[in-house]
Chains A and B, each alone.
Chain A
Amino acid sequence: MTQTLNSNTGQLSRMRRYRHLMFSVLLGGVAISLGLRSLDYPLVAEVVYLLGFFGFLAIWQGTSIQLFDERERQIEERACAVTLTITAFALIFGASAGRLLPLLTAYSYPTWLNAVIYAFIGQFIVFAAVYGWLRFRT
C-alpha cells in the first residue's frame, strides 16, 4: 500500500509540475510577445506567441501522464455547456433585436454586432457538425 501511495504521489506531483509548466509556457509566450510588440518587434512577437501556444500543446499532448482528473474534465464539459447555452440566448435575442430595432426605432444597429452574430452562427454550425460526428461514432 505504501509503495502504491508513493508511486501515485509522485504521479500527482508530476501532474502538478507539468500543469504549471504548461500554463507558464503559454502565459510566458503571451507576456514576452506583448513586450516585444511594445518594443516594435511585431514579427518576432508573433513567433514567440505561437511558440508559447505550440509549447502548451506539446506538453499537454506529449506527456504520458494524465494532466487532469475526471472531476476537472467534468467541470470543463459543464462550463462548455453553460457557455454554449449563454451563446444560444445571445444569438437568439441578438439576432431578433438586430432585425427589429432598425424597423421600430431610429436606432442604427452597429455593423460589428452583425459580425458577432455571424460568429455565433458559425460556432453553432461547428457544434452541429461535431455533435453529428460524435453521435455517428458512438
Chain B
Amino acid sequence: MKNHVRERRDDAGLSQADLASAVGVTRQTINAIERERYDPSLELAFKLADYFDCRVEDLFDPNLVST
C-alpha cells in the first residue's frame, strides 16, 4: 500500500531505528513498510498515525497500490 511514512519520518528527522523503537517494532518492519512490501496491521497503522499526529488516511492511501 502506498504510504507517506518515509516523508513523515524524514520531516521529523528520525532514523528508521528511532521510529521502530517509538512504535515497538523492528527497524526491518519500518523499512518494509516504507518500501511498500508490508502493509501494517490496524494497530500499528494507528500507532504510526498517533506518533506523527495525523490521521491514518493521511499516512496510508489504500487507493494507490504500488506496482
Contacts and interface: CB of A to CB of B under 8 A. Distances in A.
Interface of A: 1, 4-5, 8-9, 11-12, 66, 69-72, 74
B43 to A, nearest CB: 8
B24 A69 contact: yes
Interface residues of B, number: 16
Contacts of A72: 26, 29
| Majority-rule SS of B interface residues | helix
Contacts, number: 37
| Majority-rule SS of A interface residues | helix
Contacts of A5: 18, 21-22
Given A5-B18, A11-B24, A70-B41, 7 more contacts: A5-B21, A8-B22, A12-B21, A66-B24, A70-B40, A71-B25, A71-B26
